[in-house]
Structure 1
Amino acid sequence: MSRLRVIAVTLAAAAGIAALAGAAVVFLGLYNTSAKSGHWAITGWVLHTTFENAVELRAPPPKAVPDDLEDPALIELGARHFDSACRMCHASPGQVAGATVRAMVPPPPQIERATANWQPAEMHWIVEQGVKMSGMPAWPAEGRGDEVWAVVAFLSAVKRGLGPADYATLTEPSPQGYCAGCHGRQGTVRAPRLDILSPEYIATALRAYRTGARPSGIMAHAISQVDPAADARLAADLSDLPPAPRDENGQAPAADAEAIARTGSIDIPACLSCHGPGNRNPLIPSLDGQVRAYLEQQLFLWRDGRRGGGARAVLMHEAADALTDVQIRALAAYFAERGVPDRNDPE
């Protein structure tokens, strides 16, 4: 028998033995899957090292990190989502998770430890993608990496030293309920105003978030906390919420912003023809006085084909398709500054 043939037979025999051993492990239950038995030390090292290298390889480039991660409003939005969706596993700053969570294999790292060794781009990849063979889920909305930066802004603040008192202030419950924590007067100026929207429009949006027709990881989690049977009543209550404080750091509208808002075509109406003060259709949202950052985000989503929900989704995509980044920011600032009477302010 030639040397090459001996090597081939040996390798085939080894592969066969490995296959039999693997089958025995799978079908005879030889591998102990009990969480109490934990991992071998070498197994834990291999998994964590693989995880670290996978994140480093796949994280967005540093130039993809937004410039506004230290914006208090963005940090607050991320903190409120973390408090509702993530705190049960990672605990809040200065606190520890419950005994049941600490018994997980592997246990989720406490929030200060979880943020200590990662850069913002790497945090973004972890939050958006999740981690296999752990309890860390992926972001619950496909294609909404833009939302993840709010959580990254909060995590980065924790890394910089955000403590228990700061966290308590950021996540203080609203007396007007769970939704008002972001959308009410105590809420973040990054969340949209609801007092300028009709109950019919809000109810439609809630259904779209619930079904995934309008993808949003933040709202997918928020709506999961609400009984579907309560959507109509909730929509009516939300339209009566007092608005969050105005964003005093917003940019001034560009000189040509109104011209952009008034420009349309035979196939695509101008922004103001549908969203202007003459709008009487409750399913078309009013934009006057809406939050600038929110308007920017939605226009980018429409333009990039990542926004769904509503009967006019195709029209809105076509209307935003040709807008440049500069025009989108100009339009957002223009409508935000048009303003509406605030019926909730005391006279």
Structure 2
Amino acid sequence: MKRVIQTLTVLAVCGTVMATLVVGVGLYNVSAREGHLPGVRWLLHATYKQSVNLRAPEAKMVPEDFQDPDRVALGALHFKTACAFCHALPGQAQSATAHSMEPPPPYITDAVSGWEAEELFWIVNEGVKMTGMPHWPAPGREDEVWSVVAYLNALPDAQAQVALAEEGRERASCTQCHGEDGNSRNSYIPRLDLLTPGQIAEALRQYRDGRRESGIMQEAAGLLSDSQIAAMAQKYGSPKAPQWQGEEAPETETPGALLAQRGNGDVPACTACHGPGRRADAPIAPLLAGQSKAYLEAQLKLWRKGHRGGGERAKLMRKAAQDLTDDEIATLADWYGDLVPP
């Protein structure tokens, strides 16, 4: 027993000396030019893989619409803006800066190889320490993370690779996502031509200032000046939206129509503020008629969870949506999505 104690004491002293040399004296070279000592890279990568495997969500958490082409397209556009600097676009070479990082970020097709969708979700959402891989900027926006993962998961498909590579290296613009006239054809991206210039400008300022969380839109709006925001709002917005909200809704007795127009004991009538048939004394809220079902459903779920930030009206919407069930959200989204604005 005495020999064991002596051995442990010697090891403890050696460990203390080594730690002093490494940390206190700076013996370990942290230069990215030198790389890691033999075995350290393997140790870190093995730790990384096991950590992801342990913490990734279950496969049943993958959304049912995971392979929707519109979701894949949204993820592709954001990847080009925020991720391609390090991982490159399919068919294009990585930059010299990316090659000089330690550890070097894997090429896009190598980065997704060997991972399940739920594991990629964890990596994109949480990031990885000491690799330069950031976490998703907006907590609670799993819907956006899944869009990026949907694109990454589609990369083995040659069409998914070519579709993004053909667009070149330029950053994704407002037009690429929202359409030339603000009438987005992507069901996961809102139509801007149904909003007023004031509503668009306020939303962009909220994204820029971090008052409204979105990993995609905070990236897009983060460097915009007030004058740029004003110009974009005028380009895409329509001052006619409040006028459209005042028009009468088509007569129908569907569950979505009844819930939107009459509400229930816990949920107020949506049409009172959003129209159609908006009451004159109610606040002017964004026009919902004509927005896609997928977008409306996603936004209502964000309101219900408390992850949809914004101005003072955010409190009203959180209260209005907190008692909605998944089925009620779906019926409201179906009804509003089927309405055609003038």
Normalising to structure 1: TM-score of the pair?
A: 0.86
Q: SS in structure 2 opposite 1:36?
A: coil
1:27 is aligned to 2:24: yes
Distance in 2 between residues matched to 1:38 and 1:172, nearest whole Å: 29
Equivalence map 1:31-180=2 (5 Å) = 31-162=28-159, 164-168=161-165, 178-180=173-175
Amino acid at match of 2:51: A
Amino acid at match of 2:325: T
Distance in 1 between residues matched to 2:47 and 2:134, nearest whole Å: 18
Distance in 1 between residues matched to 2:210 and 2:87, nearest whole Å: 26
Aligned residues: 325
Distance in 2 between residues matched to 1:163 and 1:264, nearest whole Å: 42
Write out per-residue CA displacement over residues 295-331 of structure 1, whole angstroms, 9 at most, x where no aligned residue: 1111001111111112111221111111111110110
Residue 316 and residue 128 in structure 1: after superposition, are their counterparts in 2 closer, same or farther (change >3 A)?
Answer: same
Tell whether the 8 Å contact from 2:210 to 2:218 is kept in structure 1 after alignment: yes
Shift of 1:206: 1.2
Q: SS in structure 1 opposite 2:46?
A: helix
Residue 171 and residue 312 in structure 1: after superposition, are their counterparts in 2 closer, same or farther (change >3 A)?
Answer: farther
Identity %: 45
Q: Residue 207 of structure 1 corresponds to which residue in structure 2?
A: 205
Residue 30 and residue 229 in structure 1: after superposition, are their counterparts in 2 closer, same or farther (change >3 A)?
Answer: farther
Amino acid at match of 1:339: V
Write out per-residue CA displacement over residues 259-318 of structure 1, whole angstroms, 9 at most, x where no aligned residue: 111234699631011110344788511111112111111100111111111211122111
Distance in 1 between residues matched to 2:253 and 2:64, nearest whole Å: 21
Distance in 1 between residues matched to 2:261 and 2:272, nearest whole Å: 7
Distance in 1 between residues matched to 2:195 and 2:170, nearest whole Å: 23
Distance in 1 between residues matched to 2:340 and 2:169, nearest whole Å: 28
Structure 1 unaligned runs (5+)? 242-252, 342-347
- Once superposed, what is the RMSD of the aligned Cα atoms? 2.6
Q: Residue 246 of structure 1 corresponds to which residue in structure 2?
A: none
Tell whether the 8 Å contact from 1:60 to 1:122 is kept in structure 2 after alignment: yes
Normalising to structure 2: TM-score of the pair?
A: 0.87
Q: Residue 298 of structure 2 corresponds to which residue in structure 1?
A: 297
Q: SS in structure 1 opposite 2:27?
A: coil
Residue 270 and residue 163 in structure 1: after superposition, are their counterparts in 2 closer, same or farther (change >3 A)?
Answer: closer
- Could you tell me which of 174, 179, 183 is aligned with 2:178? 183
Write out per-residue CA displacement over residues 187-242 of structure 1, whole angstroms, 9 at most, x where no aligned residue: 6332000111111111111122122221111111111242344222222223159x
Tell whether the 8 Å contact from 1:127 to 1:139 is kept in structure 2 after alignment: yes
Distance in 2 between residues matched to 1:108 and 1:173, nearest whole Å: 20
Q: Residue 232 of structure 2 corresponds to which residue in structure 1?
A: 234
Residue 267 and residue 300 in structure 1: after superposition, are their counterparts in 2 closer, same or farther (change >3 A)?
Answer: closer
Structure 2 unaligned runs (5+)? 240-251
For structure 1, which segment, 327-336 or 268-277, has the greater mean C-alpha deviation from structure 2 after superposition? Answer: 268-277
Distance in 1 between residues matched to 2:15 and 2:221, nearest whole Å: 48
Q: Residue 326 of structure 1 corresponds to which residue in structure 2?
A: 327
